[in-house]
Chains A and B, each alone.
Chain A
Amino acid sequence: MKQLTDLKLKVWRQAGPEVDGYFESHTVDKVSDEASFLEMLDQLNERLIGEGKEAVVFDHDCREGICGTCSLMINGQAHGPQRATTTCQLHMRTFKSGDEIVIEPWRAAAFPIIKDLMVDRSSFDRIVEAGGFITAPTGGAPDANLILVPKPVADAAMDSAACIGCGACVAACPNGAASLFTGAKISHLNVLPQGQSERYKRAEAMVHAMDDQFGSCTNHGECSAACPKEISLDVIALMNSDFRKSKSKNRKALSRG
Chain B
Amino acid sequence: MSTVLNAKVPAGALRDKWDNYKADAKLVNPNNKRKFKVIVVGTGLAGASAAATLAELGYQVDAFTFHDSARRAHSIAAQGGINAAKNYQGDGDSINRLFVDTIKGGDFRSRESNVHRLAQVSVDIIDQMVAQGVPFAREYGGMLDNRSFGGAQVSRTFYARGQTGQQLLLGAYQQLSRQIGLGGVRLFNRTELVDIVVIDGRCGGIVVRDLLTGEITSHAAHAVVMATGGYGNVYFLSTNAMNCNVTAAWRAHRRGAMFANPSFTQIHPTCIPQSDESQSKLTLMSESLRNDGRVWVPKNADDSRPAGQIPENERDYYLERLYPSYGNLAARDVSSRAAKRLVDKGHGVGPLKNGVNLDFSAAIARLGRKVVEERYGNLFQMYERIAGEDPYSTPMRIYPATHYTMGGLWVDYELGTTIPGLYAAGEANFSDHGANRLGASALMQGLADGYFVLPYTISNGLAPLLNKPVPSTDHPAFVQAETEARERFGAYLDIKGTRSPDWFHRELGKIIWDYCGMERTQQGLEKALSELPALYAEFKKDLRVTGSGENVNQTLEKAGRVDDFFQLGMLMCRDALDRQESCGAHFRSEYQTDDGEALRDDENFCHVSAYDWTGDPMAAELVKEPLVYETAHLATRSYK
Chains A and B are bound partners: yes
Q: Is A141 an interface residue (CB 8 A)?
A: yes
> In the complex, which residues of chain B have a beta carbon less than 8 angstroms from the beta carbon of A99?
none
- Cβ contact within 8 Å between A64 and B136: no
Q: Is A84 an interface residue (CB 8 A)?
A: yes
Q: Which of A57-85 contact B (CB under 8 A)?
A: 57, 59-69, 82, 84-85
> In the complex, which residues of chain B have a beta carbon less than 8 angstroms from the beta carbon of A135?
178
Q: Which of B550-575 contact A (CB under 8 A)?
A: 551-555
Q: Output the residue of B73, B131, B141, B283 with the most chain A CB within 10 A.
A: B131
- Cβ contact within 8 Å between A141 and B382: no
Q: Which of B68, B133, B139, B554 contacts A195 (CB 8 A)?
A: B133
Q: Is B308 an interface residue (CB 8 A)?
A: no
Q: Which of B167-175, B256-264, B391-399, B466-474 is near enough to bind chain A?
A: B167-175
Give the distance to chain A from B261, nearest Cβ to Cβ, in Å. Answer: 26
Q: Which of A66, A91, A118, A145 contacts B386 (CB 8 A)?
A: A91
> In the complex, which residues of chain A have a beta carbon less than 8 angstroms from the beta carbon of B126?
144
Q: Is B46 an interface residue (CB 8 A)?
A: no
Q: Is B130 an interface residue (CB 8 A)?
A: yes
Q: Is A43 an interface residue (CB 8 A)?
A: yes
Q: Output the residue of B74, B130, B139 with the most chain A CB within 10 A.
A: B130
The CA-CA distance from A189 to B173 in the complex, in Å, is: 14
> In the complex, which residues of chain A have a beta carbon less than 8 angstroms from the beta carbon of B139?
151
Q: Which of A46-54, A101-109, A217-225 is near enough to bind chain B?
A: A46-54
The CA-CA distance from A140 to B56 in the complex, in Å, is: 12
- Cβ contact within 8 Å between A61 and B283: no
The CA-CA distance from A48 to B239 in the complex, in Å, is: 26
- Cβ contact within 8 Å between B132 and A39: no
Q: Is A34 an interface residue (CB 8 A)?
A: yes
Evaluate whether A89 and B138 lie within 8 angstroms (CB atoms) in the complex, with A34-B276, A68-B71, A194-B133 already known. no
* Nearest B-chain residue to A53, judged by Cβ: B546
> In the complex, which residues of chain A have a beta carbon less than 8 angstroms from the beta carbon of B72?
61-62, 67-69
Interface string of A123-165 (1 = CB under 8 A from B): 0110011101111111111111101111100110110011011
Q: Interface majority SS on A: helix, strand, loop or mixed?
A: loop
- Cβ contact within 8 Å between B276 and A114: no
Q: Which of B32-40, B158-166, B584-592, B631-639 is near enough to bind chain A?
A: B158-166
Give the distance to chain A from B38, nearest Cβ to Cβ, in Å. Answer: 15
Q: Is A192 an interface residue (CB 8 A)?
A: yes
* Size category of the binding interface on chain A: 35 or more
Q: Is A98 an interface residue (CB 8 A)?
A: no
> In the complex, which residues of chain B have a beta carbon less than 8 angstroms from the beta carbon of A128?
173-174, 177
Q: Output the residue of B126, B138, B212, B382 with the most chain A CB within 10 A.
A: B138
- Cβ contact within 8 Å between A85 and B385: yes
Q: Which of B67, B86, B452 contacts A144 (CB 8 A)?
A: B86
The CA-CA distance from A45 to B546 in the complex, in Å, is: 10
* Nearest B-chain residue to A43, judged by Cβ: B278
- Cβ contact within 8 Å between A150 and B69: no
Interface string of B511-555 (1 = CB under 8 A from A): 000000000000000000000000000000000111100011111
The CA-CA distance from A179 to B214 in the complex, in Å, is: 34
- Cβ contact within 8 Å between A136 and B131: yes
Q: Which of A24-54 contact B (CB under 8 A)?
A: 31-32, 34-36, 38-39, 42-43, 45-46, 48-50, 52-54
Give the distance to chain B from A33, nearest Cβ to Cβ, in Å. Answer: 9
Q: Is A255 an interface residue (CB 8 A)?
A: no
Evaluate whether A121 and B127 lie within 8 angstroms (CB atoms) in the complex, with A64-B283, A135-B178 already known. no
Q: Is B306 an interface residue (CB 8 A)?
A: no
Interface string of B266-297 (1 = CB under 8 A from A): 00000000011011110110000000000000
Give the distance to chain A from B192, nearest Cβ to Cβ, in Å. Answer: 13
- Cβ contact within 8 Å between B546 and A48: yes
Q: Is B242 an interface residue (CB 8 A)?
A: yes
> In the complex, which residues of chain A have a beta carbon less than 8 angstroms from the beta carbon of B76?
62, 66-67
Q: List 27 A-B contacts (CB under 8 A).
A: A1-B351, A36-B280, A39-B279, A49-B544, A49-B555, A54-B546, A55-B554, A60-B242, A61-B242, A62-B76, A63-B280, A64-B283, A67-B72, A67-B241, A89-B385, A115-B551, A120-B68, A125-B180, A133-B177, A134-B174, A138-B53, A138-B455, A142-B131, A144-B126, A148-B143, A161-B135, A162-B161
9 smallest CB-CB distances across A and B, nearest first, come from A148-B142, A129-B181, A141-B131, A133-B174, A157-B135, A141-B127, A136-B131, A54-B547, A144-B130
Known: A65-B382, A140-B131, A194-B132. 6 other contacts (CB 8 A): A1-B275, A1-B276, A32-B276, A67-B73, A89-B382, A134-B131
